[in-house]
Amino acid sequence: MRKAVVLLSGGLDSATVLALALRQGYACHALSVDYGQRHRVELDAAVRVAHTLGAVEQKTIRIDLTAFGGSALTDSSIAVPTGGVQKTGIPVTYVPARNTIMLSLAIAWAEVLVADDLFFGANAVDYSGYPDCRPEYMRAFERMANLATKAAVEGRRLTLHTPIIAMSKAQIIEEGVKLGVDYGMTVSCYQADAEGRACGECDSCRLRRAGFEAAGVADPTRYFTAPA
């Protein structure tokens, strides 16, 4: 059975990607990163999702990106926008180099596990504002990774799979429902409370709710305020 490292945040997208990787027959090692995010409760969701879907193991690595700040998710003095998804520019919820840091940790673990496959739930459709969610970034990361490691020098090749990068949120949800993912276990909200209940107003909540609506799937999200 081929091993894969799957980045698992505890949100909807990465849960779907884990289900897809398992369906493809990979023995999945789920990696979550506690980077000091506001919505740290998503990490509890990651543990539940990994266990329920059937990952071989799940690890949470801690790295304190609040030391750098520069994002509403890692600096408590910057508020999470709740007025609606902005149409242009990069939102303040973008965390500098976060995806690069998480993928770097994934290649480290992959090398130790002797795994040649990484799965990452980046999505370029509903989060088009984030530079490190673009397909050209993914290709550049994969190319770099294939020069970075001992495995690469020894002739093995690492593949970075981004199976949902071109899907709409509705398509991701439809795919996950087919695979039996219980999205009630996942936490997407940028300011979820300690019980994992969602605000219903941040970009992540809005995109998620619109996805359930567009897919015609009942939204299992627990909200702490009534959705707008």
* Residues within the interface to a copy of itself (CB under 8 A): 59, 61-65, 67-70, 90, 94-101, 104-105, 107-109, 111-112, 131-132, 134, 136-137, 140-141, 143-145, 147-150, 152-153
d(C-alpha 29, C-alpha 47), whole Å: 12
Token pair for 199: 């605000």
- Nearest CB to a copy of itself, comparing residues 18 and 160: 160
- Nearest CB to a copy of itself, comparing residues 153 and 228: 153
Least distance CB 10 / a copy of itself (angstroms): 18
- Nearest CB to a copy of itself, comparing residues 70 and 177: 70
- Nearest CB to a copy of itself, comparing residues 104 and 168: 104
Burial 46-84 (b: 16+ CB within 10 A, else e): bbbbbeebebeebebeeeebeeebebbbbbeeeebbbee
Torsion of CA 146, 119, 23, 61, to 10 degrees: 120
Least distance CB 80 / a copy of itself (angstroms): 17
